[in-house]
Amino acid sequence: NQGWEIANIDMVKHMNADQATCGYGCSGNPYDAYWAFSPLGHGDLHELGHGLEKGRFRFAGWEGHSTTNYYSYYSKS
């Protein structure tokens, strides 16, 4: 194992779909979103991805968003 495994969530995550005050979407549990819930949608998977990020895959200058979209792109394959 070289740290290349993809983490998964083994817990219930909640969403707060309303007028987000933190921007367009904010990670956490619940995560806050300004869009309609879409379990395989880019925004929902992006926010859930924040909770799964690993330091190994982060790029300097993009620590907060360089690894959040793997899950969204994978769902479309």
> Cα(32)–Cα(46) distance, rounded to whole angstroms?
12
Contact criterion met (CB below 8 Å) for 17 and 39: no
Q: What are the 10-residue block averages of pLDDT along the chain, 77 residues in total?
A: 70 83 85 89 87 72 72 77
Please give the sequence-ordered ranges of beta strands (E in DSSP) within the chain, or none if there are none: 15-17, 25-26, 31-33
Instruction: Note the residue count of the chain.
Output: 77
Half-sphere exposure of 40 (CA within 13 A, CB side): 5
Count other C-beta atoms under 10 Å from residue 23's C-beta. Answer: 9
Model confidence, pTM: 0.70
